[in-house]
Structure formats: structure tokens, C-alpha cells
Structure 1
Amino acid sequence: MFFSDADFEQYRTLIYNESGINFTATNRSILESRLRERLRDKGSDSVKTYFATIAKDQGELKSFLDSITTNLTRFFRNQAHFDALEHFVVPELMKIKQGSGNTTIKIWSAGCSTGEEPYTIAMLMSEILPPSWKFDIVASDISLKCLMTAKEGFYADARITGIPDAYLKKYFDKVEGGYKIHADIQSRIRFDYHNLKNDSGQRNLDIVFCRNVIIYFDEAAQTNVINRFWDSMASKSFLFIGHSESLFGMATKFEFVKTEWATLYRKFI
């Protein structure tokens, strides 16, 4: 047997303790498949030897966690969220900040994968904010491989589905094999490695996007992540999570907000 029950328990416990990602019997086959690929890449066939390696080698542990994450994303994914951002969230924040002298909107794209989400946000904010206003985006992920793709800002032809033609013409250059996002949009985003199990150190954020990420955590890890978001966010700020995710029943202080376009959550103190 490639992967005994005892091996599975060792790996799932380590993964949970290090990342909050929860593998159960239901998705055991996914972990086994990803582990096979990782061992093949390392030229090894010993599950036990590799476990000993990642238990003591933080660099290899990061690479392993990278290999087991699912990175499904696209530009303007769940358009309703971006409609709510444009028509409700940004106008509300501008009203709140009016007269304070603070004309910067701080945004975190947590679990940004290969960058489509933060680039979508950056393009939209560039379109809708008046010239006197600024935005600052931090985009993070646990996958170093994905962050490298995001930083490069190149997307193959098949990956630009969903981008309106006007945005594609304005914010991308056509290059061989795909499209390259303009440097001025890239410069508005700081890509950073971050494990959601830990405090990001960020504070006074106005908007947090963390979509289709906490679905991979169990209830305790979800609550910890959401409460860390609360600590990082400013008063009267907004949280977007995936359409299949919910804070219902969770021990959190966020308020549920239903807009004409989409549902989201608000820190209102």
C-alpha cells in the first residue's frame, strides 16, 4: 500500500497544524495524488522518509504545502462581487472617509492564487475611483509557485476569458502566446507569501477578499482565520468570501450585508 492509514493521519495532522487545511477521508485521494507527484518530482518513493524531511525542513514543507493547494481562479470570477464593490462598497467607503483626509482605500486579496483576483480589483478601482483617491492592494498566497505567476503578470490566451474587451485593450499588451498586464497596474499590487494560519500583521484594511479559501478549513480553523481578518480590518470595513461559504453560526462579530448585487460582511464598530 502506498499510503497507510497511519501515514495519512501523520500527514493530515502536520498539514492541519501548519496551514489549517483539513484533509478528511473524503478527500484523502487528493492528498495521496499530490503526494505521489511530489515524491516523483523529488525522485523518492518513500512516504515515511519524505515525511521526516518536511517535518524538519521548512523550505521543503513550504513546497509541499504549495503542491497540495487547489488554485482555481479566473478574472472577474463571480461578477456579482465586483458589481457590489463598484456600486456599494466603494461609495460607502468614500462617504465614510470623506473629510478625514484619508483618501486611500486599503485592500487585501487573501489566497490570491495566480493573481487574477487582485488584478481584477486593481483594474476596477482604477476605473471607478476619482483622481484624488488612491488604492493599495496586498495580495497573498501560500503557494510560492502561484505568486511567481502573479508577479509576472502574463496570462495565456485561454486564461483571459471574462475580461471585458475595453479592459483588455486598456490594461493589457498582446504578446506571444497571451497577454501581459501593464506595469502601472502591477505596481499597485504587492504580492506576498502568507499562511492564513498566522497573523498577517496588516491593520486598518478597508476591504478583504478571501473567496473559496476557508472552505478547505474545518470550523475551528475557519473561525480563527475570520477573527484574524477582523483584527486586521478598520472600523466600517467589508469582507468578501466565496458564494458557497458562510459565516452563519460562526463565533464572529461580522455583520451580514445583503446588497442589490451580492451578499458580503461588514465590520461595523
Structure 2
Amino acid sequence: MAGYLTDTQFEKFKKLIYDESGITFSSSNRSILESRLRERVRNSSADDLDGYYQIIIRDEGELKGLLDSVTTNLTRFFRNQAHIETFEYYVIPELIKMKREQGNKEVKVWSAGCSTGEEPYTLAMVLKETLPPDFTITITASDISLKSLMIGKEGFYATQRISGVPEKYLKKYFDQREGGYAVKDELKKLIKFDYHNLQNDSGQRNLDVIFCRNVLIYFDAVAQKTVIDRFWASLATKSFLFIGHSESLFGMDTQFQFLKTDWACIYAKNS
């Protein structure tokens, strides 16, 4: 590809990506976008950036491929131990008590921006270990990256990526294979991996918990508010929201209540 990303082209691609996904590019991360575009153009039938732009506005599959390439998929099992402890020692006991009062024994969780699946599998293990045996577990794991979703759905992880899994969980929920570990079917069946763009309504309702960590940082204030309002609509009357430790709803017009536990700070819906 000859030349660099011009200011006009940058604004054009930046707007398209924002309109389609809520992901924001600024001058500080412009080089990331340029790098991804170089690669996409090189592997397409386009001669240059302008030609590639014409392709993605007509081809939804190529547009999804571009959005996939500009997302950062950094994750690991049992990431942010304080959040996992809050989930295990505060949220789940609250849900058990509430569900028993309601006569409802299903716990529904959404891992939004699940990347390659480490988070939803972590949550599944904790739920399996903590919930009474007569409770049922439903976990939806979504992401804008189809490539990441395929890895999560396969459930095979190289040995070095398993480092955060406690030994008792590793023995119980994984099968060791050449080069790594495979998630057992009893855990996989609890999770539905699904493509979803957070700028759209997921259609989910009456969820008990949403995990959406280190995703809002890629959105501007308007897009963040849209996502948070959609989370509110998806959650049950009494429910919980986990966002990244560097993210906050401070200053946002939202009905979520800030909740400080002994382990970490999360958000609650109580109406």
C-alpha cells in the first residue's frame, strides 16, 4: 500500500468504526488503526485505502473482520482476583438468598467482551463450586471478535495460558492434552458463545450479573452511556454489574448504585 493514512482517510475510517462499534480512535492510537488497515488492505482485493473503504461499506463480512482486527483481546483466567472474590463471597450468596425467596433456581450471567473465553470459564467454575447443586447456570459470552469467540468455543488453551487456574479447578474441569489443556464438556455446556456488538441491544433480559471489564475504555462518553443503559435494561430488578478496575460510572447519569464490598467495588441494580 503506497503512502500513509491521510487525515481525511483517518477521519473517514474512524467515523465508520465508531458508528458501527462505538470504538474510538484518537491521535494517540492512530498508529494501531493504520497498522490494522495496512494488513487488511494487503489481504483484500483493494488497491489502496480508498478502495478498501468502498469494500467495507458494502461487505458486512469484511467490516466485521476489520472490527475484529482493531479490538484488543487481553485476558486471562481468574483475572483481577478481587473481582472473583467479590463474585464468589458476596454476589453469589446474595443471589442464592434472593433466588430461594423467589422460588427461582436459575442464575443468568453475561460475560460481555469475553475475548477468548477465559472469563466466562472462570465464572462457570466459580458458580459450579459455589451454587447449590439444584441451581442451574446459564452464561452468555459475547464479543465483537469472531476469531476470539472460536477460540473460546473450542476451549483449548496452551499450558502457559492456564497459569491463573487454581490446581483444584485445573484437575476437575480440564483435560491435559499435548501442548495444553481442554475445558471439559460439563463446563462448556454452561456457556453460549455469541457474536454481539455492544452498540446494539442483545435482547437478553432478567440477567443476574453482567461482567464487562476493560471494554468501556475503548468508547467515548456517549457510547459508554449507550452501553450502560443497555446493561440496565438487560438486568433483573436486583442484580450486579462488574466493570474494569480502571473504569467508572462516576459522573454518568445512571441508576446503578455504587457498591463497596470487602473485596472490590462493583455496581448494583436495585429497582
Q: What letter is aligned with 1:141?
A: D
* 1:14-34 alpha-carbon deviations (Å, 9 max, x no partner): 000000000011110111111
Number of residue pairs aligned between Structure 1 and Structure 2: 269
What residue is the counterpart of 2:221 in the other structure? 219
2:184 corresponds, among 154, 168, 182, to: 182
Alignment of 1:1-12 (within 5 A): 1-12=3-14
* 1:191-247 alpha-carbon deviations (Å, 9 max, x no partner): 100000000000000000000001000000000000000000001100000000000
Q: What letter is aligned with 2:40?
A: R
Q: Distance in 2 between matches of 1:207 and 1:163?
A: 22
Q: Following TM superposition, where does structure 1 have runs of at least 4 consecutive aligned residues deviating by more than 3 angstroms?
A: none
Q: Distance in 2 between matches of 1:261 and 1:153?
A: 29
Q: CA shift at 1:43, angstroms?
A: 5.8
What residue is the counterpart of 1:235 in the other structure? 237
TM-score (norm. length: structure 1): 0.98
RMSD over aligned Cα atoms: 0.9
Percent identical among aligned pairs is 62
- Mark the runs of 5 or more structure 2 residues left unpaired by the alignment: none
Q: CA shift at 1:69, angstroms?
A: 0.5
Single out whichever of 23-32 and 7-16 deviates more from structure 2.
23-32
Q: Distance in 2 between matches of 1:242 and 1:40?
A: 35
Task: Give SS of 1:56's match.
Answer: coil
Q: Distance in 2 between matches of 1:33 and 1:20?
A: 20
What residue is the counterpart of 2:44 in the other structure? 42
* 1:247-266 alpha-carbon deviations (Å, 9 max, x no partner): 00011110000000010000
Task: Give SS of 2:102's match.
Answer: coil
Task: Give SS of 2:165's match.
Answer: coil
Q: CA shift at 1:41, angstroms?
A: 2.5
What residue is the counterpart of 1:262 in the other structure? 264
Alignment of 1:78-93 (within 5 A): 78-93=80-95
TM-score (norm. length: structure 2): 0.98
Q: CA shift at 1:2, angstroms?
A: 1.7
- Mark the runs of 5 or more structure 1 residues left unpaired by the alignment: none
Alignment of 1:20-169 (within 5 A): 20-42=22-44, 44-169=46-171
Q: Distance in 2 between matches of 1:187 and 1:135?
A: 10
Q: CA shift at 1:99, angstroms?
A: 3.0
